[in-house]
Chains A and B, each alone.
Chain A
Amino acid sequence: MAYITDYQYYENNGASPLDKNWGSYQYVSLEDIVSNFMLIYNGNNEILNNVERYQVLFHAKRGIQELNYDAMKEIKILQLTVDSQIRFTLPQDYVNYVRISYYRDGVLYPMTENIQTMWSSAYLQDNNAKILFDINGNVLKPENSQVDLSRQGDGMAKLYLGEGPFNNCMGYCIDGCWYFERQIGDRFGLNTETANVNPVFTINKQEGAIYFSSDMSGKSVVLEYVSDGMKNGDNSQINVNKLFEEFIYAYIRYSLLNSKYGVQEYIVNRARKEKSSLLRNAKLRLSNMHPGRLLMNMRGQSKWIK
């Protein structure tokens, strides 16, 4: 992107939206990355020549996707109310979640993932457990499985973490009251993997939805997630932080050299090492370790740990 005037930066030259250019200087656009690469790294006297632009575009986007997955830490946040089936449809650009919380009275309550199944598909069966088919030979399916119905109602057992002798026991929460089955035998400590008083969730990736336990009915959920930075395919919106610019060039260069016939192995290795070290550099830069922040952290060094 070309350098812009102060008026263009703060007021977008009087056009709408006003905040279009705010913070834009941190980023370099995909268009600039591809243009710069074609200009500087591809040519008759360069290591790379006869490279098509679409190849550069492909590797540039792949590099940006990889960065978004594990290095950029550019987290997107979406708040929605769960629907009648106590589920939250994943956003269109969702790749993986960072944290899922439910929101109540101005406070975010982080939730834990339930490692047990909370959803299932089912087939219709007769009373002899034989599967039922339609006239086309396709299996008949109910709208909800029993697992789904249990989750949507109050029929699914949950961990009770509260006062009294039933602390850390599985029970049923119905209309705010807890019911327990008769306890037989001893308890052997807390199962820390599931020990959380907040509601739980499970993600059905194929179906594209997050399923919650029944106590989440009608509640507001905040999803923090990472995307791949492809901005729904709008090339003009795709950009990358300038701290990663050199890495992206190195990534493209390595990917092209690695897939090109007849390139000497030492050249490919050189490109690979350059790419790796630049990624490390960029991650360090982006981690924002500076004296002011370290000082704040170190102030707690003499605090007593109870």
Chain B
Amino acid sequence: MAMINNVRNTVLAIMNKNNYGYLSPQDFNLYAQQAQMDLFEDYFYQYNQYINRENLRQSGTGYADIVKSLEEVIDSFSVQAFLAGGTANTWNLPSDYYLINKIFYYQNLLTSGTTTAANANQLINANLAGQPSPPRFDTGATGFTVFPATGSIVVNTTTLAQSFVNSVANQTTLNLATNIFPALGQGYSIFDANTIVEVERVSQNKLFYLTSSTLTAPSTLFPAYVLDGNTITVYPTSIQTEGTIKTQYIRYPKPPKWTFNSIVAGEPLFNAAAADYQDFELPLSDEPGLVAKICQYAGIEIRESEVYNFGSTEEVQENQIQV
């Protein structure tokens, strides 16, 4: 069910009480984006507020665990992605991030190379034939150790896609969980899945104290980074290998877009199958909040104070219930 269509219909119904309120799809999309962003940001403030209440024993568990439900909504915007390397030890952040939650460093590189053939869900490197293990893959049939171990992380260093080792097919081929090598000639790195360390965010004014201290100087076991614009600089400076730095971040919600394909009886007909269609990404429970927000914007547009006041009152009432 398209939430965006319900919201639009509700907004139009509220505005059209005197048959002169109309909101064009273009304007609706603009207001919808504003409303969604507003509610999205509110989640973080509410999260903080409820944690404080939890510590004051004013929040319960089970169905009364509000923090848990807020976390679920925020986590629905969570994304993991490898960072593309910049110059030296700098890395470029994704363009759609709202909040960088964690930066990971894959410190234990087991082996790397280039694929020589492409097959679905497989990594093939024929050049490994005849070499000792490692770097040659080992099924474990002749020795004690399977190499690389099942669950090891495989990164396509060309596309920065990630997968896992399901099993070792033979000395030159690995079976992967997903298809990340669609073409031959792509670089790969295989990392130990058990030795991933978090890169710690350090504020700029602490950086030089940190790096000059013998006790806290960043190391590959305890790396650190500082943020400069849309790039991060990772310490120690030896961390430069492509495909070793990954981030888990909260992205911005995608701009909602109510799409239509024809106008029937003077009304655009909703089309959810359009290529650029985008529903709201917030949960269904936020529908009243979105309606109230959009009504405020639309009320200003059509100079109808009652619509604006209705939206404001609804929002205030909803907030009071939550408190």
Binding site for B on A (CB under 8 A): 2, 7, 13-14, 30-31, 34, 44-45, 52-54, 57-58, 61-62, 230, 233, 235-236
Contacts and interface: CB of A to CB of B under 8 A. Distances in A.
B131 interface: no
A54 B194 contact: no
A33 to B, nearest CB: 12
B215 interface: yes
14 contacts: A13-B145, A30-B221, A31-B221, A44-B51, A45-B51, A52-B200, A54-B200, A54-B216, A54-B224, A58-B216, A61-B215, A233-B214, A235-B219, A235-B222
A54 B197 CA distance: 14
B49 to A, nearest CB: 12
A121 B219 CA distance: 40
A54 B219 contact: no
A44 B217 CA distance: 27
A170 to B, nearest CB: 45
Contact of B215 (A34, A44, A57): A57
A53 B222 contact: yes
Given A52-B200, A54-B224, A235-B219, 10 more contacts: A13-B144, A30-B221, A34-B222, A44-B51, A57-B215, A58-B213, A58-B215, A235-B221, A235-B222, A236-B221
Given A13-B145, A61-B215, A53 B200 contact: yes
Nearest to B54: A45
Specify the main secondary structure of chain B where it touches its partner: loop
Contacts of A57: 215-216, 222
B55 interface: yes
A14 B216 CA distance: 34
A52 B225 CA distance: 13
B242 interface: no
List the 3 closest A-B pairs by CB distance, nearest first: A235-B221, A54-B216, A44-B51
A45 B144 CA distance: 45
B39 interface: no
A236 B197 CA distance: 12
B143 A54 contact: no
Contact of B194 (A2, A34, A235): A2
Contacts of A44: 51, 54-55
Contacts of A52: 200, 202
B222 A14 contact: no
Interface centre among B55, B210, B221 (most CB of A within 10 A): B221
B138 to A, nearest CB: 11
A44 B213 CA distance: 29
Contact of B55 (A2, A13, A45, A54): A45
A62 B215 contact: yes
Nearest to A15: B145
B105 to A, nearest CB: 13
